[in-house]
Amino acid sequence: MVGPGGLREVRRLCHWGPLVALSVVIVCSATAIADAVLWYWPLDTAGGSVNFIMLLNWTVMILYNYFNAMFVGPGYVPLGWTPEKSQDCMYLQYCKVCQSYKAPRSHHCRKCNRCVMKMDHHCPWINNCCGYQNHASFTLFLLLAPLGCIHASFIFVMTMYTQLYNRISFGWSSVKIDMSAAKRDPRTIIPFGLSAFAASLFALGLALGTTIAVGMLFIIQMKVILKNKTSIESWIEEKAKDRIQYYQTDETFIFPYDMGSKWKNFRQVFTWSGIPEGDGLDWPVREGCHRYSLTIEQLKQKADKRVRSVRYRAIEDYSGVCCPVTKGVKTFFTTPCTEEPRIALSKGDLILATRGLKHWMYGEKILNSAGDGGIRERGWFPRKCVEKCQYDSETDQPVDGEKKSR
Mean pLDDT score, 280-284 = 91
Clarify whether residues 184 and 323 are in a common domain: no
Q: Which residues of 11-23 are buried (b: 16+ CB within 10 A; e: fewer)?
A: ebbebebbeebbe
Whether pLDDT at 171 is above 50: no
What distance in Å separates the CA atoms of residue 92 and residue 106, rounded to the nearest whole number? Answer: 10
Clarify whether residues 146 and 45 are in a common domain: yes
Domain carrying residue 340: 309-388
* Residue 23 domain-assigned (yes or no): yes
Mean pLDDT score, 265-280 = 88
* Residue 52 domain-assigned (yes or no): yes
pLDDT band at 3 (very low <50, low <70, confident <90, very high): low
pLDDT-wise least confident of 37-46, 169-178, 224-233: 169-178
**Per-residue model confidence (pLDDT) at position 249:** 82
* Residue 113 domain-assigned (yes or no): no
Mean pLDDT score, 138-147 = 97
**Per-residue model confidence (pLDDT) at position 306:** 82
229 within 8 A of 238, measured Cβ to Cβ:
no
Mean pLDDT score, 50-60 = 95
* Residue 168 domain-assigned (yes or no): yes
**85 vs 396: which has the higher pLDDT:** 85
245 within 8 A of 238, measured Cβ to Cβ:
no
The residues, ordered by sequence, that sit 6+ positions from 38 with a Cβ below 8 Å of its Cβ are 188, 189, 190, 192
**Per-residue model confidence (pLDDT) at position 5:** 58
**Per-residue model confidence (pLDDT) at position 233:** 94
The residues, ordered by sequence, that sit 6+ positions from 35 with a Cβ below 8 Å of its Cβ are 155, 156, 159, 196, 200
Q: What is the DSSP letter of 39?
A: I
231 within 8 A of 74, measured Cβ to Cβ:
no
* Residue 163 domain-assigned (yes or no): yes
Whether pLDDT at 314 is above 90: yes
pLDDT band at 192 (very low <50, low <70, confident <90, very high): confident
362 within 8 A of 380, measured Cβ to Cβ:
yes
* Residue 264 domain-assigned (yes or no): no
**Per-residue model confidence (pLDDT) at position 187:** 52
**Per-residue model confidence (pLDDT) at position 175:** 46
Clarify whether residues 62 and 172 are in a common domain: yes
Clarify whether residues 52 and 192 are in a common domain: yes
**Per-residue model confidence (pLDDT) at position 168:** 55
**Per-residue model confidence (pLDDT) at position 405:** 33
Whether pLDDT at 176 is above 90: no
**Per-residue model confidence (pLDDT) at position 250:** 82
Among residues 227, 243, 277, the one where a domain terminates is 227
Which of 221-235, 269-283, 297-311: highest mean pLDDT? 221-235
pLDDT in tens, 224-245: 999 999 999 999 999 999 888 8
* Residue 286 domain-assigned (yes or no): no
- Residue of 98, 115, 123, 149 marked catalytic: 123
pLDDT band at 368 (very low <50, low <70, confident <90, very high): low
Whether pLDDT at 373 is above 70: no
**Per-residue model confidence (pLDDT) at position 184:** 44
pLDDT band at 199 (very low <50, low <70, confident <90, very high): very high
**Per-residue model confidence (pLDDT) at position 7:** 78
Q: Which of 249, 324, 258 is nearest to 105 (CA)?
A: 258
Amino acid sitting at position 105: R
What distance in Å separates the CA atoms of residue 317 and residue 74, rounded to the nearest whole number? Answer: 39
Whether pLDDT at 2 is above 80: no
Among residues 184, 202, 227, the one where a domain terminates is 227
What distance in Å separates the CA atoms of residue 49 and residue 57, rounded to the nearest whole number? Answer: 12
Clarify whether residues 313 and 222 are in a common domain: no
Rg (CA), the chain: 27
Q: Which residues of 97-110 are buried (b: 16+ CB within 10 A; e: fewer)?
A: ebebbbbbbbbbbe
Q: Distances from the Cα of 56 to the Cαs of 7, 25, 29, 148, in angstroms?
A: 29, 12, 8, 10
Clarify whether residues 217 and 313 are in a common domain: no
* Residue 128 domain-assigned (yes or no): no
Clarify whether residues 143 and 44 are in a common domain: yes
In this structure, how many other beta carbons lie within 10 angstroms of the beta carbon of residue 9? 16
Clarify whether residues 170 and 69 are in a common domain: yes
Whether pLDDT at 404 is above 90: no
pLDDT in tens, 320-339: 998 898 898 999 999 988 77
pLDDT-wise least confident of 58-72, 98-112, 148-162, 169-183: 169-183
Return mean pLDDT, the chain: 85
Output the pTM of the full model.
0.82
Q: Which of 19, 44, 36 is nearest to 151 (CA)?
A: 36
Could you list the beta-strand ranges (E) of 309-375: 310-314, 350-356, 360-366
Among residues 178, 202, 227, the one where a domain terminates is 227
pLDDT-wise least confident of 21-25, 98-102, 133-137, 372-376: 372-376
**247 vs 374: which has the higher pLDDT:** 247
Q: What is the DSSP string of 257-286?
A: T--S-HHHHHHTT--TTSPPSS-SS-----
pLDDT band at 169 (very low <50, low <70, confident <90, very high): very low
> What's the number of domains the chain is made of?
2
Quick check: is 289 catalytic?
A: no
- CATH classification at residue 358: 2.30.30.40
